[in-house]
Amino acid sequence: MSVQTWTWILVGVTFALYFGIAIWARAGSTKEFYVAGGGVSPLANGMATAADWMSAASFISMAGIISFTGYDGSVYLMGWTGGYVLLALLLAPYLRKFGKFTVPDFIGDRYYSNTARTVAVICALLVSFTYVAGQMRGVGVVFSQFLQVDINIGVVIGMAIVLVFAFLGGMKGITYTQVAQYCVLIFAFMVPAFFISMQMTGNIIPQIGMGGEIENGTPLLEHLDQLHTKLGFKEYTSGTKSTWDVFAITLALMVGTAGLPHVIVRFFTVPKVKDARKSAGLALLFIAILYTTAPAIAVFARTNLIETVSNTEYTQLPDWFKNWEDTGLIAWSDKNGDGKIQYVAGNALDGKPAYTGEANDSSARGAHGERLVSNANADANELYVDRDIMVLANPEIAKLPNWVIALVAAGGLAAALSTAAGLLLVISTSISHDLIKKQIKPDISDKGELMWARISIVFAVVIAGLAGIKPPGFVAAVVALAFGLAAASFFPAIILGIFDKRMNKQGAIAGMVVGISLMLFYMIRYKTGLIGVMDARPSSEWWFGTSPEGFGTIAMLVNVVVSVVVSRMTPAPPQHVQDIVENIRIPSGAGEAHSH
């Protein structure tokens, strides 16, 4: 059977499963809609958290970044895994004990202020929209390749599907759908990794295969370094980022994780605090399976890409190359007219290819039948590869069976859709619960609140889809910016709210406003070119040599300083709030032995 037939079958079966679960677990009350009724088992919650956590950025884009940036890409591995540990140990149990559904709810009650709640809602919406734009682009990439449609149409199809999940089941439906999605995405990620590891190194375990040797006895990584230096690239295993920038990006991703509203809310779906800790540990285990495999997939994909494409006659290129060309995610311009692809060091990887004609128009082809890249990059490099295709194209490059190629498509969709659904729920609860119920219309009925939650999901999907059609970068870069926003806004307010009794509303509001404004300004300045400069400019223009992905660290430190200084210059919080903070940190049941 062809790849397309297999894709239709596997995507069809998995989607039928998700829809079936969403209908079976329909939410009847706001508690079921927001936190699945609080009755999910730690194992199911661990899987759902892992699926929520491992978005299109983890599945599609992370191995792609590591594949292109080599050693420098490891910051994403360290930041995202470390952040999850930080969240599980430092925040989840305390927030669970505080007993609030959402982060704005926690901030509104802890800082006894509706202004603080509103600022938190705005921050939650900014973080979630930036994050969901990355997911939507991921969905678009998968659909565009496997349904042979334009990326933008792919995004629209994805919007419609996510809407059904989130609309029907709320958190209850999403939780059980995510358990199924975790199983699909991890199976889809690991099967090709086992195949390719066996094929290249004779070892079926990819983590060991990456450090293994190829047929002639050369270690695989050494072989890849040689391929790189021969083409004029830096060695794959050497880094180019400054130590400070590596630290800044890693920390921004870590503390950004700890402030991500859609992950935090997962700890409210279990019955007890003990279960929150248990499900956090299980989720870490489930996440580690994918995260330890990603670097291996990156190495296999990079090696295969160079060996199949570099210096090859266009007429002899494998079919996968021409298939992906039609999506516009890989392109070639024969600058020296020799009919061969010259893949050498240069900056052609950084810019999107600009076609000289419509995607399906024969005038957009050169003398050898190749898709044309604009000659704006007049360097020697003739190949453009979008980082987001590395994981998806990997099984095709390695000539794996058609069903494996189709399985990866189903996995990519599961990863993007599970996170997108979780994020849309955060957006809808922020609007219906934190704005309408808590501030605008306190006497609203359960039914009315549920209606507003569903209306806001529709709006959220449309805005997210538009952002997915014109995202400010590839999937993982967009997602990294969302983490920067979360680090700059939420993390200090939550952590100081738990561990500093003297922290008051004035400090928290000032800190959040300053932190998120600073991060937004930096993002717009260096990622969109609207205020002066673009990301492609030399890093000497960055403040303190910090990339936009790492700037969340600086914005967070500014937030902490502003919060602490302002809170010390203004009145202390009321006594009952200080008592609550004192109480959150005492383990439940600690004082029981003495009371008899």
The token pair that represents 560 in the structure block: 């902490």
Residue 133 lies in a domain: yes
- For 540-554, the DSSP string reads GGSGGG--TTTHHHH
Model pTM greater than 0.85?
no
Shared-domain flag, residues 41 and 184: yes
Residues 111 and 190 grouped into a single domain: yes
Residue 543 in any domain: the answer is no
Task: CATH number of the domain at 466, please.
Answer: 1.10.4160.10
**Nearest of 177, 175, 172 to residue 30 by alpha carbon:** 172
Are 228 and 139 within one domain?
yes
| Rg of the chain, C-alpha, whole Å | 24
252 vs 94 pLDDT, higher one: 252
Of 443, 472, 501, the domain-final residue:
472
The amino acid present at 60, given as its one-letter code, is I
| pLDDT tens per residue, range 309-345 | 777 777 777 777 877 777 777 777 777 677 777 776 6
Please provide the distance, in angstroms rounded to a whole number, between the alpha carbons at the two ends of the chain. Answer: 72
Instruction: Yes or no: say if 558 and 546 are a contact pair by the CB < 8 Å rule.
Output: no
**Could you tell me which of 287, 280, 286, 258 has the C-alpha nearest to residue 42?**
280
Q: Residue 103 and residue 318: Cα distance in Å, rounded?
A: 50
Same domain, 236 and 122: yes
- Domain-embedded: residue 548: no
pLDDT digits (tens, 9 = 90+) for 335-384: 767 777 777 665 433 334 333 333 333 334 444 444 444 433 444 567 77
Domain annotation covers residue 390 = no
To 10 degrees, the CA torsion angle through 507, 509, 511, 517? -160
What does residue 375 show for φ and ψ, rounded to 5 degrees? -90, 25
Give pLDDT, residue 537: 47
Strand partners, 340: 313
Task: Decide if 116 is inside a domain.
Answer: yes
Give residue 196's domain range.
Answer: 3-304+400-472
The whole-angstrom separation of Cα 435 and Cα 354 is 43
Note the pLDDT of residue 34: 61
Residues 381 and 410 in one domain: no
Nearest to 126 by CA among 419, 463, 440: 463
How many angstroms separate the Cα of 418 from the Cα of each of 132, 199, 342, 422? 11, 31, 39, 6
Lowest mean pLDDT among 162-171, 458-467, 483-492: 162-171
Share of the chain above pLDDT 90, in %: 6
Residue 557, in any domain of the structure: no
- Out of 472, 502, 525, a domain closes at 472
Contacts of 506 (CB under 8 A, 6+ apart): 566, 567, 570
> How many structural domains is the chain composed of?
2
Q: Is the dihedral of CA 237, 243, 245, 249 positive or negative?
A: positive
Is 117 within a domain? yes
Q: Residue 566: what residue type? A: V
Q: Which two tokens stand for residue 108?
A: 């509104």
- Same-domain check for residues 258 and 157: yes
Is 343 found in the same domain as 413?
Answer: no
For residue 215, pLDDT beyond 90 = no
Span 536-580, pLDDT tens digits: 444 567 777 788 788 889 999 999 999 999 999 998 888 888 888
Mean pLDDT, the chain, rounded, equals 77
Same domain, 75 and 119: yes
- Same domain for 95 and 187, yes or no, is yes
Q: Residue 496 pLDDT > 60, yes or no?
A: yes
Asked if 216 and 343 sit in the same domain, the reply is no
Query: Phi/psi at 347 (nearest 5 deg)?
Result: -100, 15
Contact 411, 15 (CB under 8 A): no
Closest CA to 551 of 240, 107, 133, 255: 255
In a domain, 527, yes or no: no
What is the mean predicted confidence (pLDDT) over 122-136? 79
Q: Considering Cα of 224, then 225, then 228, then 233, what sign does the dihedral take?
A: positive
**Same structural domain, 380 and 417:** no
Q: Give the pLDDT band (50/70/90) at residue 511.
A: very high
Indicate if 374 and 419 belong to the same structural domain: no
Least confident of 30-39, 48-57, 203-212, 295-304: 30-39
- Residue 530 three-state SS: coil
